[in-house]
Structure 1
Amino acid sequence: MAENRATPSALLREVVAATRAEPGERTTALAQLLAEADLAATEVEELLGVVRESQQVTARLRRRTVELEALFSTARELVRLQDVTDVLRRLVDRAHELMGTDVTYLSEVDNARGDLRVRYSAGTVTPEFRDLLVPAGFGLASLVASAREPAWVREYTHMADAPHDPGIDGAVAREGLVSFLGVPLAVGDEVLGALFACNRFAHDFTPDEVLLLSAFADHAASVLRSARVLAESAAARAHAEGAYRELERHLAATQIVSGIHEELTAAVVSGATLIDLVGTVSDRLERRVRAVDEAGHPLGTATDDRAGLPRRRPLVDAIRRSRTSGHAVSIDADGRRWLVVAILGVDRVLGAMVAADDDPLLDDIARPTLERAAHVAALVTFKRDAVSAIRAERRARLLVDLLDGVLDASALTAEGVGTLVACAAIDVRGSDAALIVAAEAVGDDGLVSSREHGLIVAWTHADAEVATERVRRVLADRLGEPEVTAVVGTLVDGIAPLRSSAARVMRDLRFLIPLGIRGATVRSADFAPYHALTSGDPEAAAAFVDGVLGPVRDWDDRRGTALVETLGAYFDSAESRQAAASALRVHTNTVQQRLERIWILLEGDPDDAEFRFRLQAAVRLERLRRALLAQEPHGPA
């Protein structure tokens, strides 16, 4: 019964609680509450889908926390341990444990040619693989070493980006390995080796796996660098101490980054927005940080303020590369440097964070901070999108019910919507993405819903034409459809006229297609006569004539005059008063007086060509109507 239904606030609390739960938890209870709230089955399933996705993102953040703690533990061990062999073996074992792959191994550059030899491994079963030498220029290792970037293959036998070596292929086959992920061990401009994670089955490595293995590679690179310094000269001890101090600094930087991450996580729990997170990161890094959407447009500003941002093309390219690698990407242009990291959703890029990077010395703090902030921002954006989607769907249903006559104007007050005064139609397909983008652009100035083959907007905004053009431009830009077209109707007073206006602008939108009108916002009133002459609506022509000639026709009906007939004769005689007077068998002054009365009754400038065209079209339609009525038989046959 209605009294047993959950209140909206309770339902919202349950939704929020469910998004924070482990995957699969609380969804049954939430589904029961949603069903009791009389939501449609499809709506319940959509919301449950959003909750499940949020649970997955939250679980990923928790998993990342476990991984970070493991990295911190590894770093502390590295500081304490003195034996390089023991350090690297423990590092490979820890990476093997956290990555969860079948085999993990570290290869070190063996000679001046750049050959790589396997030095430590975990999970291998064949002795020859544990001491495998990979010649420079062959295999996946050559890609990692030459590009100094992570690289992976789903199936090693199908790899075509680097030449194969028979000896390597044989060792890989005997070990039974199929998929490989390799990350470089680099210090400065020098590649010291590579760290690999492999599976005995085909596998697509995720950005999170790339990021985790890269973190272990950074530790390994520090250790290898320290070992080489020890072997170079008698002053190895001083160099080793410097290397360990660098490692300690790295640990300190990691702890700083962890503290910032905890602060951001706490901000999310307290309801912070994406812009709040950006402000926090900017304050902690002491440099300007901006949020942009996937197209490189800045977020959180009233205008398109691109000050302090790189040009859009290199920025969008950096977002794409960041999405692929899972890391922050550097941009150098116009004498400046930026760090860019993509904010990744479940299946798309949600945007990016862009930080000025004028102080490379702080890069080991700024880079991981941005990368972890992007993970937190993804959760914030996901929650925001979920709330926006729910609000957009609720308000869309309200508009549909108003236009279909299910609800009246009183429903607007309950939703906090002002008086609706105009309608507009937009020809973008009414997908969920288009609806949400349009709803965000409209905001509290109206309602948006899918209608037929587009969107319908009901405005509380008096300047509906300007507001509609703004929304059209937002849709064209966000959806990548430059030919989005819109029609805006005239101002109305009441729900009934609003329904008629909505039907009219949707018809007008279809009328624009054969005219070749694209990528613009037009007024429905601008082509009223054309629509009346071509519309399949049986009421269109009559409504057009009433709108243009109504006052003149009413004058004739009340006073028994012939103003409509005079207009017809006047237009038939090429607007000659004398010829019209002759045709009507009246004096020229009579025609002049009647025309003056007509111009007083009508709202329009008789010297305006468009007004005269509309008036002629209305007069001829009215004369045709009268002629046809005169031919009809009187009474039943």
Structure 2
Amino acid sequence: MVENTASALVREVVAAARAEPGERMLALTQLLTEADAAASDVEEILAAVQESQQQTARLRRRTVELEALFSTARELVRLQDVTDVLRRLVQRAHELMGTDVTYLSEVDNAQGDLRVRYSAGTVTPEFRDLLVPAGYGLASLVADSREPVWVREYTRMADAPHDPSIDDAVAREGLVSFLGVPLAVGDEVLGALFACNRFAHDFTPDQVLLLSAFADHAAAVLHSARVLAESAAARARAEEAYGELERHLAATQIVGGIHEELTAAVVSGATLIDLVATVSDRLGRRVRAVDETGLPLDTGADARAGLPRRRPLTDAIRESRASGHAVAVVDGERRWLVVAILGVDRVLGAMVADDEDAVPDDVARPTLERAAQVAALVSFKRDAVSAIRAERRARVLGAVLDGSAEASALSAEVARPLVGAAAIDVRGREGALTVAADAVGDHGLVTVREHGLVVAWTASVDGPGPGPGAGAGAGGAGLVAATERVRRILAEKLDDPSVTAVVGATVDGVPALRASVERAVRDLRFLGPLGVSGATVRSDDFAPYHVLSSGEPEAAARFVDGMLGPVRAWDERRGTALVDTLVAYFDAGESRQGAATALRVHTNTVQQRLDRIWTLLDGDPADAEYRFRLQAAVRLERLRRELLGG
């Protein structure tokens, strides 16, 4: 029986030593009493068992803590989802710490504000996304000291300033005691890990160490995530830069190939239209050439179709001239790229490309810009050739007109016979000869005469110039149309709307050409005093009045003013039509009835107007010489008004 009691006592001592603190102590005490052990022995055995229980419990807790830390470490090594790892880390810390609330705050910005990212045990949504400003609350103490900080009662904390919004959030969550440890890597604080209770509590060193260990793991997770993110961003930037380099090299090769092709085309004698066609083909989009005013250089029926309106186009040409690069033009729902073709001191024209996605923009823009440079070379070459050709032809025509060269000298320049002449007043503007020669083309010759230009037209088979037999019939209408076209081009290119032209009589040889030129030049001087400019007129219209000029251009104007001055002044003051009445009266053979019919007024009205006219004029209407002079003045005034469009 004694042996059985001893065995039971040993087993109970062993079981009690392995139990949780406080467990099986009553049963052990009873067995010791039954075994008649001395009181001092009982006390010593019970103390030893209690110490064993506490050490065993501590080892068990440490085992659990280490297992949790090892699990976190393994997850850190296999780091994939940072959010998931940190959330589990906070949950393990919460379970092992045994506190009411555990949460992790991360530095939110450059100012050092801390925002709650992950939490366990919280009950209010406001606290789960709480932002603690830098310098306030327990968080500032943790971040500034980089050491663990705890408070038994948060409301009595005086080591850091309180923020009312933070205090309200803490109160709504019901938190009282706090333990915070920093998440630090090197000299940088990434955040803080907190364990909190809803009652006053003094945190033990073991709790501080345990929470610090979790904080170290959390810091490692955040740091690893940052390093991985920076590495991924750097890799992405490197890949993007490499891809951009590849695209740039590919674009450079394409642009270089197009440039070589354009250069070869120039060497082989290509025109600007040929260059535009080449660029259009290589870019896979429609490209057209325009002059500096936005007018298309090709002359097709739909040449203007599909281009931007003139105003935005010319604005883009000016902008491209200033920048030296292609400029985007948006007009309605369509978009174009425009690049100016630049000369030494002026814009020679521009290239206009439909802005489509057939070729990347980094290819289209430099291609157009290089093509514009090549086009400028072509224009220089063309202008130089045109200038040399124009000067040579001008010398030949001038020599023939002056009589210092035979008519046969013209055959080397033109193959068709001369049919007419025209004189154009350009006020001696520089560059007018080349512009006019380009406009006339192979339909005639141009030379300088008395600060103006003289055009000798040929019988043209095709083109915009005079047609065959242009001088015959209809008063040489073909010559007038061709001369008006040249006059308009000069007015636009020279920016001078007052450019005026006179078409001379038709000719059939050099002597007649010289006479036609001399008469047309004289008629130009005749138009100025009459106030006629910016128009093309025929020399034949002045045939009855050449004798009145007496070689003085102002004589005709003075003559008309001397004869009709009072009548014109009366019309201007009173708004009457006395001059028109005289015109109708003389056209009707001095018949009052005929004038009344032409004017659609009563015969008495015509008589009253004639009476007023005779009182205004000084001459005697019965004098035949006076009536002739008056008729001449009236008809010259009518011609002046017709030329002015009045």
TM range (shorter): 0.3 to 0.5
Q: Which protein is bigger by CA-based radius of gyration?
A: 2
> What's the TM-score once normalised by structure 2's chain length?
0.47
TM-score normalised over the length of structure 1: 0.48
